[in-house]
Structure 1
Amino acid sequence: MEAWYMKDIQENEDQRLPHHCEPKEYVSLEKLADLGVLYWHLEGDNYETCEELERIRKERGYSYTDTITCSPGKLPNYEEKLKNFFEEHLHLDEEIRLVLEGSGYFDARDHNDRWIRIWVKQGDLIVLPAGMYHRFTMDSANYTKAMRLFVGEPVWTPYNRPYDEHPVRKEYIDNFIKKDDTSSAVEAH
């Protein structure tokens, strides 16, 4: 997994490219964790027997899984679904993905509303917290097979921005954005 601040994508630019800022600004796992993003690297080939995945599922209550393959020949209405995935949105539950094959990008907002591009590849398990604005797109390989994990019954409902008045969004802001603003203010004194 790699993460970096990305430049704004212009309408005529391919969203599947890295879109690094110049100079490049990489983002650490610690910075992602401060925003509520969790990450593990697991064995993508042996996920059925991966003890660490089982431990994570048990500790976090991930009781339901399925797989999704995103590629032009495998996902019905591929182009339309990619447009929907790339709309900035949030969920009322965590979004949990383990990349089994291929790669792709999750874009997430930081506390200053800047986009961070997170490049996930085979074996990367990422958890985006409920209430965090984010989006997904393929990279130039145009292929991702991922396990989707859920607590209880699966819910795929995206709530496109703005959705700031929902209690889940407010809870995210209180837990991660205001907390970060408070710690920055304390450090400045």
Structure 2
Amino acid sequence: MKNYNVLMCGVGGQGIILASKILSYGLIKGGYDVKMSEVHGMAQRGGSVTTQVRFGEKVFSPIIGLGKADVLVSYETMETERWLPYLSSNGKAIINTYAIPSAPILTGKVPYPTGVVEDIKAKVNTIAINAETLATSVGNIKTMNVIIVGALIKTLGLEMITNWEEAIEACVKPNLVAINLKALKIGMDAVTV
């Protein structure tokens, strides 16, 4: 069994750590050895957040080196460019097309860059998902993270190997389980492999 490396990136407040916990929990229940690492220094202030999830038959370290990620999951468009060097040459990027302007953009010092998704598509195999629209259809914008997890699960072919409902139930508040299960399914359905 091959080991897989998934790097998730975005900014604070997007639920990236929760998404990694859902993924890790489901993988463990599915029989994989899983290691997870998270970095969230200035996350509370909208700073960069990354998590690294490695899984397979036997994994010895949670750290993913440059050019070693099988999948780069970006919850915010600009963050994709920052972490793209970690994606392997035959890896795949999953990008949420949702844009969160940084402080310099909000103050008008610089514009939000255009064409980021198109530039990345020209470089690597890319799945672009408008998770904001999908989350709005679910009824809660905060489900974007779980929608992207659903897309990742489908991309990796993991939708049938574990009980993802149990992972959602273990990781989110009881009153949010139903809406997150719906979000997970919508995320899976958004990807055609």
TM-score of the two chains, using structure 2 as the length reference: 0.25
Bigger Rg, which one: 1
More helix per residue: 2
More strand per residue: 1
TM-score of the two chains, using structure 1 as the length reference: 0.25
- RCO greater where, 1 or 2, for CA within 8 Å and sep 6 or more? 1
